[in-house]
Structures are given as structure tokens and as C-alpha cells.
Structure 1
Amino acid sequence: MTTWITICDTCKRENWAESGAEITDGELFAARIEEAASAIPHIKTRRTSCLMGCTRSCNVAIQATGKLAYTLGEFAPDTESAEGVVAYAALHAQSETGQVPYRTWPQAVKGHFVTRHPPLPTEE
């Protein structure tokens, strides 16, 4: 089953405007996540404009049909963080429920969880 990493590409960290950067922190983070995920089976990425976590940028959502979903934020848009997000998503993909034991979490995602959502019901 595919686990999706949805990356906010409009995120701008504090002092972004003063940094002189030509692209947003979210665009930079998205590119790094996409690169890290490119060869990982069952992981797909997509970009979106705004996950509404502006005070916690850079933000991502980890989701799969029928599994717990997570929002994570307050990342630096660096390679280490991107690789940590992808490593966590790979564990999520391997989990039947989407729950990943804390002891197996990559260090780069610890302290970055914002929300957890139960899967949508399969019946109305």
C-alpha cells in the first residue's frame, strides 16, 4: 500500500524574507524530500500550497488509505530532516495501521509531530 508524503511548498520559516532566498523553505524541503523518496518503494510525494501550519513550517502530512495519518512540522529544510521524514514514511508504509513504535522513529522526526488523525470510516 502506498504512503503519501504531502509537502507544503509555500512554507516560509522566520526571517525568510530577510534571507534573500529565491524559493520558499517549503519548495526547498519538498525537493529534498522528493529526492530522498525517489527510490523508496510504496512512498509517493506530492506538493500542496499551504497545510495551514504556518507557525510550524516546514510542514508535511503522512497518509495512506485506511491508516492513521500524521502532520509534522517545525523542520529545517535540510537533507537530514528530509531523509528522516522519508524514513518515517517508509515505516508507516510497512505498518498495517500506520502506527509506528516510538523506539523505531528516526531521530530527525522526534519532537516534530503536530497531529494524528484516525482513518476515515469505510462505511457511512
Structure 2
Amino acid sequence: MTTWITICDGCKRSDWDARGANQTDGDVLAQAIETCATKTPVNTRRVSCTMGCERACNVIIQGIDDNGLSKIGYSLGSFDGTAEDAQAITDFATLHATSPTGQVPFRTWPVGVKGHFVSRHLPLPAPIEAEKA
């Protein structure tokens, strides 16, 4: 099974200009997630935009199972870009990686991801199902 955290490194929180930041909040979060993920079975990648600008610090968690079929995926946002955020995101992605379907029971969610879910992405149909459609 493979799970990926896709991180928007272009995200800027709404107070970015007022803070005079010289590094995007998404880049800060991406660096922290990459550090956390080195000790896990989770892969990371960066993109410049996930089109969730109003929420800033967006990530997408998605993966495939041992048969090469997609699993349930999730979009999360409205993070501050802290090390704690990165750890919670990585911990959730690790639970996603060990789940055969990608579904993670609510009772096991890290506290730091609760309230940050934007959407759930249903798995793509299996190839044989797609042919019937």
C-alpha cells in the first residue's frame, strides 16, 4: 500500500502580508511534514497550488492498496503550518496508509486534524467497473 501527502507549498494564510513573511506558510508546513514523514511509510510531494487558497496550508492525503486500486482520499486545510500540524497530518496519513480502504475511524484521528477536513474523495472505480459504466 502506498499513501501520499500532497502539500501546497504556495499557500499563504490571510495575515501573510501583515506578518511580513518571506516564506510561504505552505512551504513552512511542507518542510515540517517532510521531516515528520521520514520516519513513516508515507510519501510526500509538493505542488504549487491545490486551489484551496481561502483555507491556506492545504494537504491532500490519498493512496492505493496492495492491488493497485485507489483508496478513499481526503483534503484538509486551514492549518497554521506549525510542527504540531505537520505531526498530526503525518500521523493521520500513517493511519491512512495502514488502512486497507483508506478509511480511518474517527476515534483514532489525531486531535490536530479534527476540524480541518475539507472533503473526502471516493476511490476511483476498479478497472472492470469502469468498463461497465
TM-score computed with the length of structure 2 as normaliser: 0.90
Which residue of 79, 85, 91 corresponds with 2:89? 85
Query: Per-residue displacement from partner, 1:11-63 (whole Å, max 9, x unpaired)?
Result: 0001101211111000000000000101112x000000110111111100000
- Where does structure 1 lack aligned partners over 5 or more consecutive residues? none
- Name the CA distance, whole Å, in 2 between partners of 1:22 and 1:34: 20
- Name the CA distance, whole Å, in 2 between partners of 1:48 and 1:67: 21
Percent of aligned positions that are identical: 56
Q: Give the equivalent residue in structure 2 for 1:116.
A: 120
- Where does structure 2 lack aligned partners over 5 or more consecutive residues? 65-69
Q: Note the aligned Cα RMSD (angstroms).
A: 0.7
- Name the CA distance, whole Å, in 1 between partners of 2:116 and 2:24: 20
Q: Give the equivalent residue in structure 1 for 2:58.
A: 59
- Name the CA distance, whole Å, in 2 between partners of 1:109 and 1:15: 21
- Name the CA distance, whole Å, in 2 between partners of 1:21 and 1:39: 29
- Name the CA distance, whole Å, in 1 between partners of 2:16 and 2:22: 10
Q: Which 4+ runs in 1 deviate beyond 2 A?
A: none
Which letter maps to 2:3?
A: T
Q: SS in structure 1 opposite 2:54?
A: helix
Q: Give the equivalent residue in structure 1 for 2:106.
A: 102
Which letter maps to 1:106?
A: P
Q: Give the equivalent residue in structure 2 for 1:29.
A: 29
Query: Which is higher, the Rg of structure 1 or of structure 2?
Result: 2
Query: Per-residue displacement from partner, 1:55-99 (whole Å, max 9, x unpaired)?
Result: 111100000022001000000100000000000000000101000
- Correspondence 1:12-51 to 2 at 5 A: 12-41=12-41, 43-51=42-50
Which letter maps to 1:4?
A: W
Which letter maps to 1:110?
A: K
Residues matched between the structures, number = 123
Q: SS in structure 2 opposite 1:97?
A: coil
- Name the CA distance, whole Å, in 2 between partners of 1:26 and 1:117: 22
